[in-house]
Amino acid sequence: VAIKVLPEAFAHDAERLARFTREAKTLASLNHPNIAAIYGLEKSPSAGSGHAGITALVMELVEGEDLSQRIARLYAPGASARQAGMPLDEALPIAKQIADALEAAHEQGIVHRDLKPANIKVRADGTVKVLDFGLAKTTEAPGSGLQDPAGISQSPTITSPAQMTGAGMILGTAAYMSPEQAKARPVDKRADIWAFGVVLFEMLAGRRPFDGEDMADVLGAVVRLEPQWEALPSDVPLPIRALLQSCLVKDPRRRVADISTALFVLEKSAVLAAVPGRVADDAVRPVPRARRTITMTSAALLVVAAVTALATWTLMRPTLVPLQPMRFAVAPTAAQALAITATDRNLVLSADGTHLVYVAGGGQLMVRAIDALDAVPLPGITGARSPFLSPDGRWVGYFTETELRKVAITGGPPDTLCPIVGAPRGASWGPDDTIVFATDLATGLLRVAAAGGTPTVLTTPDAAQGDADHLFPSLLPSGRAVLFTVTPSSGEIQNAQVAVRDLTTGQTTTLVRGGSQAEYVAPSAGSGQAGYLVYAVAGTLRAVRVDPDTLAVGSDPVPVVEAVRTSGNGAAEFSVSRTGALVYVPGGATDTRSLMWVTRDGREEPIAAAPPRAYTVPRLSPDGTRVALDIRDELGDIWIWDLARQTLTRLTDAPATDVIPVWTPDSRRVIFASARAGIANLFWQAANNTGTAERLTTSPNGQAPMSISPDGTQLIVREIVPTTGYDLRVLRLDPSTPRGAGPSTSLGTSPTPSPRTPPRQTEPLLATPFNEQNGELSPDGRWLAFQSNASRRNEIYVRPFPNVDAGNWMVSTSGGTHPLWARNGTELFYLDSAGAMTRVPVQTTPTFSAGTATTLFVTRYFVGVAARTYDVSPDGQRFLMIKNAASAQAPTMVVVLNWLEELMARLPAK
């Protein structure tokens, strides 16, 4: 056996002793013929005061010289006629055994961190033993020093008192450490792969790839310089050269990701090296002029070509980890949690799969390297929606309420690319540096230069075919075509289609019916292998095989992820990188939520009898007895909750989406938006389930009711206008009451239109280049509160009604949405930019004035749609809120590395 003793001078050093013990435990966890074994950790008793006794490792005795001695002997003057380097038939078997040892360690989660020739022994029978796993040497025996005046190859491991697994220290031997080690950054097994490449280069070239007069010079070379590749002998095969180049890539993300790749190349190259009179690669040197038969020459050339092609494919194939799919969860802290909205995709992976970008609370953009523990915010970015990335991963594109912007992924001031009208519905950045994006204004897809400019129309929905809009664009990696979702005018997302637009010919082809938000995934660009179309269907991800050239679908759809968070408009929380990594948010097509009362001081009183459903918009009846509910766990219908009887009854049941209820003042009818006639228009229906729904408006633009005047004669309507975005308009429910006549003296009545009365048209109220939403009339009908992004973020404003041009007061000062009047007209409530419930005392006579805003409670309640998602009790002391399920409070993101392999297994090429 060999006895490795911890010198007494270090026996009182707690760090040295801990590292010594760590080495014992590490070696005990490994059992491999190419790793020196350990038999025990021995400690002798103290010999008296001031003496700690002896601590020693009992290890396998490995006879023979270490690799640094062997290299020095081979390169000694006159030792060999070969100009440089170890013979291939000697170097490749040694390298293979080193790689075998590293693979065994990496499988156990152990990284050597200090692989170098002095830590590798070669026995007389050729067996290689790797020593000192998981521990920097505490003492070093002097080496030969040949061609090494500074003794760099035998220099001790550079350490610090910091923990070995932490960041901010350098750990390794200068000439063999990776650039990330030299920069004192955390390392993983790719640091060992770098060191393996350095050792193999030194064996073959007779010199280290990174050298210098002192340690500082060596570290500088490791970080900044490239190896002198011309130092490699001419007979080094092309696969080995490719292996070395891939091991010595300074960016660990682009380095060989697993030592098994090196093993494959070494095994094939060792077989080739053992063939007598082997043929060198034509790309390296001419074929030697030796006598051999045509058959042997052809066979050898074929072997070289096969090995080269397979090795090159293995090395160059983009990968982050071994080909076995690996899953892990990303669960950010509450302050950095993913913010889920009901209409957007809130996360995206970079094309190379190395970075995840997502939206946190307040529209903060978070960037998380896949190999990092935490995400970091992009400073100064708020109000961001629907992030997307440039193909090179250097830029993050995103929407605000009024603009399309981009910002460097490393941070900095954002650049405005163009204004937008309407709410974002996805964007994609192409290789030609143009961006295709969509909004909810039924304008189809738009395109703008990534440097900024005026958007141009790329596609137009075909209303004659029942198309409402084109959403969620995704450009193919080649940039020659764009995938998008065609939504139906009925609003039934289950009838959406995935289509592709050829950007050269302008031809549009439907690929999948009944799906949304598709992304294209291929094993490698231009490989000619089958590509895959991944898309969302009712809370699941499905995939079909497609031809990479024609994009024709070549298989039946197969479910590939069973539960993915998906909104009612088809936006699904998933993203696939070009390298085949996947990130998604577990969930489904809808979320279950609960109803509860919340007092002004934030105390919750759950309405336990109300079953968990996808509650979205609640509206208390004016008489305080019932709640009209927009529930979207099916298609989207209006339901009535009776507060006294504790019963839930369906009000609407059309084969279309019915949303956003508003009560008439007498509590007898409910007005709502419905897509049953194509584009969403206004309907009303008796709240007691008698009669049928009657249509109130006919408009080519999507409409939704906001609030009603106290006399029931004028309805505030939000309308989506292609030229100006979200506008507020007025619908006169009593034709005999002209607009501007003011409230009627007869309160509490609801005019009923004649069945022969045709649907009416709305009239303009607030139509600006900005988005005006959530218009709420005061209890006396004289004032209109609303939100607008006129200041480039949403704030709460109040104007006189109906003469809205007679004044304009900003109520909020640091962001606000979803205003609501107290029933007594003395307070305004709204949600601030962080989602906290806020109150402002107001005075409405003789004119309007607002006091100082105060926070009532910091809400974590559902606010994921454009309409107001809360209401207030008649006495103003309780708020009716919608609370997400516990699982939705802090969504978890799941990352699957090498998901492409799983996808290919589920949909194998025929």
Write out the catalytic residue numbers: 114
Q: Which of 613, 693, 622 is nearest to 648 (CA)?
A: 613
Other beta carbons within 10 Å of 221? 19
Q: What is the DSSP string of 30-91?
A: ---TTB--EEEEEEPPP-BTTB---EEEEE----SEEHHHHHHHHHSTTS-SSSSS--HHHH
436 beta partners: 428, 447
Rounded CA Rg of the chain: 35
Q: What are the tokens at 261?
A: 């790749």
Q: Which of 733, 826, 835, 838 is nearest to 783 (CA)?
A: 826
Other beta carbons within 10 Å of 524? 17
- What backbone torsions phi and psi does residue 729 show, to the nearest 5 degrees? -130, 175
Instruction: Give, in degrees to the nearest 5, the angle at Cα 122 between 121 and 123.
Output: 115
Give the H or E element holding residue 360.
strand 355-360
Q: Which of 826, 830, 847, 848 is nearest to 839 (CA)?
A: 830
Burial class for 758, CB neighbours closer than 10 Å (0-12, 13-18, 19+): exposed
DSSP 612: P
Return the amino acid letter for 601: D
Beta strands 38-43 and 424-429 are: unpaired
DSSP 586: B
Q: What are the tokens at 246?
A: 């891939």
Q: What are the tokens at 532?
A: 């895959």
Phi-psi group of 392: left, alpha or beta (phi > 0 → left; psi -120 to 50 → alpha; rest → beta): alpha
Residue holding tokens 């009887």? Answer: 645
Q: Which of 332, 224, 491, 51 is nearest to 895 (CA)?
A: 332
Q: In what order do the strands lie in the sheet with 558-561?
A: 516-521, 531-537, 540-546, 558-561
The C-alpha atoms of residue 460 and residue 444 are separated, in whole angstroms, by: 5
Burial 816-827 (b: 16+ CB within 10 A, else e): bbbbbbbbebeb
Q: What are the tokens at 701?
A: 């633009």
